[in-house]
Amino acid sequence: MKNRSSVFFGALLVAFGFFLLAFNYDLINFSFRQIARFWPALLLIGGLAVIVHPKKAFFNTVTALCIAFTIPLAIYSSASDGIDRVTDKIDNDFHFDYDTEDSDDFDFGDSDENVKKSDGNIIEQDYSLPMNSAVERAKLDFGGGAAEFHLSETTDNIFEAKTSLTAGTYRLSDQIKGNLHDIEFNMKSKNQNNRFKINEDFDLQNDVYLKLNTKPIWDIDIKLGAGDLNFDLSKYKIEELDIETGAASVDLKLGANQDEMKIDVSSGVASIRLNIPEPVGCRIKMNGIFNSKDFEGFTKEGEYYVTSNYKSASKKIEVKMSSAMSSLEIDRY
């Protein structure tokens, strides 16, 4: 029996080793989320191991291993299914308390703005910063959560924003240093501890619309807790784009207006889609075992995924992604 057991575990290790080698060298491609859904099969194998065991012992090696793998896979599968539902309908799944008393504790920032209340306790805010002729570079530090974020139009000002919020407010501040315009636009919650209160009787309807000027070279830093972000950046000269997300859905359309663009993504659980022009060469490095990827038209070179025109292209985009459990999709247009 010991010889049979040794053969079984030896064959299992060999098969598992070949499987990991094939995955690392992209000979096979699979989604770990799909594999994790087969965790009940491990219970079946563990049960069969008890039945065929000569002493019908429950505590045998095979059953113990099956149970050891079943528990984390079951937790992961259940959690990822729940997270998918959150990211698919992120704008419909949040409910917040709202203080309908006076709004003296709102801080509307340092810029020109018009604030008004509309029906349903929705706070609408308009922000703008004028374009300075000496500015050649701009940096936007943008943060928020539990909302839908949009950027599709340009402006003659260097920055414009319109928000329609049922909870919280935004603060805009800026500083010009030589030819650099540094802009911060971040969300502030209504209560003092910077957290939203959950209430099943109140639905969240938060929308944020941004506009940027196309003249400067932009560095953009986005910190997104939970939300839905849809930015069309194809008209802008983007040099660096940093994105930090929690449970979010991110859809970005990128352009070919800068020789080199660097994108750094750090996410917990997110769905990220990048739309990249065909003539642009692209290289991707993705860290995290529990991630899924869709890189059609890319080939694996070492630790990178690259397009066939990466070396020859005059415009290049480099993507680095570190994630716990996310999906990354690259579309070419």
Residue 94 lies in a domain: no
Closest C-alpha to 76, from 45, 34, 23: 34
| % of the chain surpassing 90 pLDDT | 46
Residue 294: pLDDT band (50, 70, 90) is: confident
* 18-42: average pLDDT: 61
Residue 111: pLDDT band (50, 70, 90) is: very low
Out of 43, 73, 88, a domain closes at: 88
pLDDT at residue 190 is higher than 90: no
Cβ distance 163 to 170 under 8 Å? yes
Residue 95 lies in a domain: no
* 36-41: average pLDDT: 67
In this structure, are 83 and 122 located in the same domain? no
pLDDT at residue 216 is higher than 60: yes
pLDDT at residue 26 is higher than 60: no
Query: Of 9-13, 152-156, 292-296, which gets the smallest average pLDDT?
Result: 9-13
pLDDT at residue 160 is higher than 70: yes
Residue 218 lies in a domain: yes
**How far is it, in rounded angstroms, from Cα 260 to Cα 240?**
9
pLDDT at residue 150 is higher than 50: yes
In this structure, are 158 and 249 located in the same domain? yes
Highest-confidence range of 96-110, 113-127, 211-225, by mean pLDDT? 211-225
Residues 6+ apart with CB under 8 A from 309: 279, 281
Residue 197: pLDDT band (50, 70, 90) is: very low
Exposed/middle/buried for 94, CB within 10 Å: 0-12, 13-18, 19+?
buried
Q: What is the pLDDT of residue 118?
A: 54
In this structure, are 77 and 149 located in the same domain? no
Residue 107 lies in a domain: no
In this structure, are 36 and 178 located in the same domain? no
Query: Mind listing the pLDDT tens digit for each residue in 219-242?
Result: 999 999 888 999 999 999 999 999
In this structure, are 130 and 230 located in the same domain? yes
Bridge-based pairing state of the strands 159-165 and 207-212 = antiparallel
Residue 102: pLDDT band (50, 70, 90) is: very low
In this structure, are 205 and 289 located in the same domain? yes
Q: Count of domains in the chain?
A: 2
**How far is it, in rounded angstroms, from Cα 38 to Cα 193?**
42
pLDDT at residue 198 is higher than 50: no
Going along the chain, which residue ranges are E strands?
Answer: 112-118, 122-129, 137-144, 147-154, 159-165, 169-177, 180-188, 207-212, 217-233, 237-254, 260-276, 281-287, 292-294, 298-301, 304-307, 316-323, 327-332
Q: Which two tokens stand for residue 326?
A: 């996310």
Cβ distance 281 to 311 under 8 Å? yes
Query: Mind listing the pLDDT tens digit for each residue in 67-100?
Result: 666 776 666 566 555 555 555 544 444 443 333 3
Residues 6+ apart with CB under 8 A from 225: 144, 145, 146, 245, 246, 247, 248
Closest C-alpha to 221, from 144, 107, 134: 144
**How far is it, in rounded angstroms, from Cα 81 to Cα 153?**
35
In this structure, are 209 and 326 located in the same domain? yes
In this structure, are 178 and 257 located in the same domain? yes
Residue 178: pLDDT band (50, 70, 90) is: very high
Residue 321 lies in a domain: yes
* 161-176: average pLDDT: 91
Residue 234 lies in a domain: yes
**How far is it, in rounded angstroms, from Cα 292 to Cα 229?**
20
Tell me the Cα Rg of the chain. Answer: 25
Out of 22, 54, 88, a domain closes at: 88
Cβ distance 73 to 36 under 8 Å? yes
In this structure, are 148 and 284 located in the same domain? yes
Round the average pLDDT of the chain to a whole number and report it.
78
* 92-109: average pLDDT: 39
**How far is it, in rounded angstroms, from Cα 216 to Cα 237?**
7
| % of the chain surpassing 70 pLDDT | 61
In this structure, are 44 and 185 located in the same domain? no
More confident residue, 72 or 193: 72
Helix axes 39-52, 61-88, angle to 10 degrees: 170
In this structure, are 305 and 167 located in the same domain? yes
- For residue 151, the enclosing domain spans 112-332
Residue 103 lies in a domain: no
HSE-CB of 219 using CA atoms within 13 angstroms: 12
Residue 106 lies in a domain: no
Helix axes 61-88, 2-24, angle to 10 degrees: 30
In this structure, are 39 and 121 located in the same domain? no
